[in-house]
């Protein structure tokens, strides 16, 4: 289905496809991104998230389909697009033997930003890196390296930033700080397109694009996505976790999260007694249970199982 462009649209994609040999990495995907929103891709490794972002940044050429970035045609006006976007890849290349200041200066020159010092100071203050400006990039922690990489990405004031799993491998405190910074950018009107394997981060998105095996499963707000699953989620705690999970999944839809089982049922009053009876007849005790709100993980796994 074709998506129409309007003044509020930052990105428009119609039927974008990319293959590598016989592997279809991105399979006829269509969606649009509203200006100023946080648009996020979620999905497992191999879902096509990185390939899609690389295509939108002009780093990989689509086999078919069309895309428009800020009104510019992806194929015909890629140079115009590169002036308006920033890209932070999974393996962003900082120069380890350069200081924080020198890294930002290098990327400023790369983007043709001549009067960059005020902007650099602003970014160092913004990312809380000001007191580390003379440190070599190679000596920074993982979280600080990501903040520096983001500063380099923002030096030319892009209207859209693309972030490919920016917090993977970063400690929880640094992840939280990084998202505070992204939240402030969002408040300033920057359009943020980000991929993540973390469903808790996906809760922060204005719109979530759920992907698997190159296909777009759903693209909606977190609220709409969770409301789409017409199931009751029963969370169970049992000392016989693996055995209980095996029995439940043979008869019901269930998901394992740590030391708990989420059973997804259509009718609680009818199906929970059956689960109790099933486990009880096999000598498995339920320590506790509760009805819990549907999570994004519940929906995603449900969609994968539904095919």
pLDDT score at 167: 87
Backbone CA torsion sign across 90, 153, 188, 13: negative
For 58-61, which contacts have Cβ atoms below 8 Å and span 24 or more sequence positions? Answer: 58/82, 59/87, 60/18
Domains 9-226 and 229-306 share a fold: no
pTM, to two decimals: 0.89
pLDDT score at 307: 64
CB 92 within 8 A of CB 151: no
- Cβ neighbors of 173 (< 8 A, separation 6 or more) are 143
Class of domain 9-226: alpha beta
Measured CA to CA, the distance from residue 179 to residue 182 in angstroms comes to: 5
Q: What are the beta bridge partners of residue 93?
A: none
Q: What is the pLDDT along the chain (307 residues), one digit of tens a residue?
A: 233 444 589 999 999 999 999 899 999 999 999 999 999 999 988 899 999 999 999 999 999 999 999 999 999 999 899 889 999 988 767 899 999 999 999 999 988 998 999 999 999 999 999 999 999 999 999 889 999 999 999 999 999 999 999 988 888 888 888 899 999 999 999 999 999 988 889 999 999 999 999 999 999 999 999 999 999 999 999 999 999 999 999 999 999 999 999 999 999 999 999 999 999 999 999 999 999 999 999 999 898 887 6
Measured CA to CA, the distance from residue 101 to residue 167 in angstroms comes to: 22
Measured CA to CA, the distance from residue 237 to residue 285 in angstroms comes to: 9
pLDDT score at 5: 40
Tell me the CB-side half-sphere exposure of residue 172, using CA atoms within 13 A: 1
Measured CA to CA, the distance from residue 230 to residue 217 in angstroms comes to: 17
Looking at CATH, the fold of the domain delimited by 229-306 is given as: Alpha-Beta Plaits (3.30.70)
pLDDT score at 7: 53
Q: What are the beta bridge partners of residue 64?
A: 17
Measured CA to CA, the distance from residue 71 to residue 58 in angstroms comes to: 15
Domains of the chain, residue spans:
9-226, 229-306
């Amino acid at each position: 289905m074709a998506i129409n462009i309007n003044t509020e649209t930052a990105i428009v994609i119609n039927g974008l496809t990319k293959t590598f040999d016989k592997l279809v990495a991105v399979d006829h995907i269509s969606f649009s991104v509203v200006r100023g929103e946080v648009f996020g891709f979620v999905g497992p490794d191999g879902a096509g998230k990185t390939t899609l972002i690389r295509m939108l940044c002009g780093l990989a050429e689509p086999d078919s389909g069309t895309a428009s970035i800020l009104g510019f045609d992806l194929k015909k006006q890629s140079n115009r697009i590169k002036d308006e976007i920033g890209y932070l890849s999974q393996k962003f290349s900082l120069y380890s033997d350069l200081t924080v200041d020198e890294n930002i200066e290098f990327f400023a020159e790369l983007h043709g930003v001549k009067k960059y010092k005020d902007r650099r100071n602003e970014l160092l203050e913004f990312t809380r890196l000001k007191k580390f400006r003379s440190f070599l990039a190679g000596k920074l922690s993982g979280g600080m390296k990501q903040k520096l990489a983001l500063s380099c990405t923002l030096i030319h004031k892009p209207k859209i930033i693309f972030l490919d799993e920016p917090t993977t491998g970063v400690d929880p405190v640094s992840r939280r700080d990084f998202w505070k910074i992204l939240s402030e950018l969002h408040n300033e009107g920057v359009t943020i397109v980000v991929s993540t394997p973390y469903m808790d981060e996906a809760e922060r998105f204005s719109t979530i694009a759920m992907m698997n095996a190159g296909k777009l499963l759903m693209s909606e707000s977190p609220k709409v996505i969770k409301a789409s699953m017409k199931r009751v989620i029963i969370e169970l705690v049992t000392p016989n976790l693996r055995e209980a999970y095996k029995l439940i999944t043979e008869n019901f839809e269930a998901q394992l999260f740590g030391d708990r089982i989420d059973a997804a049922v259509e009718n609680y009053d009818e199906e929970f007694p059956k689960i109790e009876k099933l486990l009880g007849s096999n000598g498995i005790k339920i320590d506790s249970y509760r009805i819990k709100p549907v999570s994004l993980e519940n929906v995603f796994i449900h969609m994968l199982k539904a095919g």
